[in-house]
Structure 1
């Protein structure tokens, strides 16, 4: 999806290649798990201060656009 972008990066040297927020070691899946559990973006950001609000919003916006395009 957004592999190796300003939002998501993936490298075998970082978290064994798990997609993470660029510039961090925070897996993107962690955000999705937080949201699925009913936690807020603020809760996620409090727990993972190396991720910026801008990164989270950009990820969600891009994911939303791609889902809408798939359904169109």
Structure 2
């Protein structure tokens, strides 16, 4: 997904955090709310300037961020 259409970062907005374009809604807020069990429909009602495509862009960014992460169990 080309999430650049929906997400931007500027040092003047939310201290440079990734936000939904044209808003002050941080990508991390969307991810936290989805992780806490909020539905897309609830997010869209709570944030009228948000779109379903922008929510999916936030998820795509998260997927990209963890794509190459590896976790190893430390010996006890």
Q: Please confirm whether the aligned pair reaches a TM-score higher than 0.5, indicating the same fold.
A: yes
Q: Distance in 2 between matches of 1:29 and 1:61?
A: 12
| Runs of 5+ consecutive residues of structure 2 not aligned to the other structure | 70-76
Residue aligned with 2:5, SS:
coil
Q: Contact 2:18–2:26 (CA<8 Å) still a contact in 1?
A: yes
Q: Distance in 1 between matches of 2:60 and 2:9?
A: 20
TM (normalized to structure 1)?
0.72
Q: CA deviation at 1:17?
A: 0.7
User: Where does residue 41 of structure 1 map in the other structure?
Assistant: 40
Q: CA deviation at 1:70?
A: 4.4
Q: Distance in 1 between matches of 2:29 and 2:61?
A: 17
1:30-70, Cα deviation, whole Å (9 max, x unpaired)? 11111111110111111111111122124435655x47x64
User: Where does residue 72 of structure 2 map in the other structure?
Assistant: none
| Runs of 5+ consecutive residues of structure 1 not aligned to the other structure | none
Greater RCO, 1 or 2 (C-alpha within 8 Å, sep 6+): 2
Larger Cα-atom Rg: 2
Distance change in 2, residues 1:16/1:58 (3 Å): closer
TM (normalized to structure 2)?
0.68
